[in-house]
A and B are shown apart, each in its own frame.
Chain A
């Protein structure tokens, strides 16, 4: 696609949690072992009255005040699994809160860790088809609100955060190809079972994760997705300059590296001090990549998101800061 990720900004809540907080509340947890496996030292926690939409506003405003002409925003794709309401769509509320024009289309995408790549495909297709000239792709989640204090599987991993990306048309072929997939047979392994129509009577919304099932899915599917994407792009694995995977955890990323025999220096990570921010993790990582000046124009970056659904998506970004 002749579509570029023109700019990315992100927002993280100011409240942090580290191992000492977990140990204080759960003295029986082996914190050193947990941190050695997750690799996550610090996580961000949204305030009790701070929603994913609130965080989305703060991330998007950084773009709108500096890098985007608000009149050019023809669409707003909001990826979240923490909407303010069952209805209306959070993206509609965000259109108003951000002061976007009324001719801006706005809709939510209910996906988790694969959501940024899906959002790129959707936003890119809108631009490529001439339906829109440019628009915002915002990813924001507050999974920590779904997690109990004593949940040892989920609590050490998940973090809250929001990222806003500005997608524009490009002179160059900068985005794609894509490789996406779904395996709904794993839906029950990462789920908030209450609150929807199937269990509407349950008020308490709690995240449940069958960690080993999700891990085995990841180990199996991510290398297959990478291989399929490389074949589609007619590239060898050593022609990829940087891999940006969903920042699930050290255990997950280390084992993707092992299974694909990747050089560690070609795999960007920032989960250590941010945690797993679900749909926002890849754009946050991409922003950090850009700020660290890790890439040169013409470099090829592979993005791969994977998780809840099960859902996965990968794409190639041909890096061009002037696109």
Chain B
């Protein structure tokens, strides 16, 4: 799975346009990325990675695109 596909998943989960998401997007600057929205993102990504993300506690606080990419890279998912 590449970074563009992950951005698609995040945008779809938050119900916003894919074009409005970039590396700087986060819970701080996307209204829909609130605490419940973040849980939705975690679930969607866990599904996309066949249920393998639940064992990575750092995902819980990865509330920006750059942090998500960083955690996924650290754990060799992308």
Contact = CB atoms under 8 A, between A and B. Distances in A.
Residues of A contacting B: mostly: helix
Contacts, number: 45
Contacts of A258: 47, 51
Interface string B12-55: 00000000000000000000001110111011001100010011
23 contacts: A33-B36, A34-B36, A37-B36, A37-B39, A37-B40, A152-B34, A152-B35, A153-B35, A211-B35, A211-B39, A212-B38, A212-B61, A212-B63, A213-B60, A215-B42, A215-B60, A216-B56, A216-B60, A220-B54, A220-B55, A223-B54, A251-B39, A251-B43
Nearest to A218: B54
B36 A216 contact: no
Contact of B61 (A37, A213, A259): A213
Given A37-B39, A37-B40, A152-B35, A216 B57 contact: yes
Contacts of A321: none
B59 interface: yes
A210 B60 contact: yes
A152 B36 CA distance: 9
Contacts of B36: 33-34, 37
Given A37-B39, A219-B54, 14 more contacts: A33-B36, A152-B35, A212-B35, A212-B39, A213-B57, A215-B42, A216-B42, A219-B46, A220-B57, A223-B54, A251-B39, A251-B43, A255-B46, A258-B51
Contacts of B43: 251, 255
A211 B54 CA distance: 14
A268 interface: no
Interface in A193-222: 210-213, 215-217, 219-220
Contacts of B40: 37
A112 B56 CA distance: 24
Most B CB atoms within 10 A — which of A33, A210, A219?
Answer: A219
B54 to A, nearest CB: 4
A251 B42 CA distance: 11
Contact of B54 (A33, A37, A259): A259
B55 to A, nearest CB: 5
A223 B63 CA distance: 24
A212 B63 CA distance: 10
Contacts of A259: 51, 54
B7 to A, nearest CB: 19
A183 to B, nearest CB: 10
A48 B8 CA distance: 47
Nearest to B54: A219
Contacts of A211: 35, 39
Contacts of B42: 212, 215-216
Nearest to A189: B60
Nearest to A212: B60
A-B pairs, 5 with minimum CB distance? A219-B54, A212-B60, A216-B60, A213-B60, A220-B54
Interface string A67-97: 0000000000000000000000000000000
A194 to B, nearest CB: 22
A88 B46 CA distance: 46
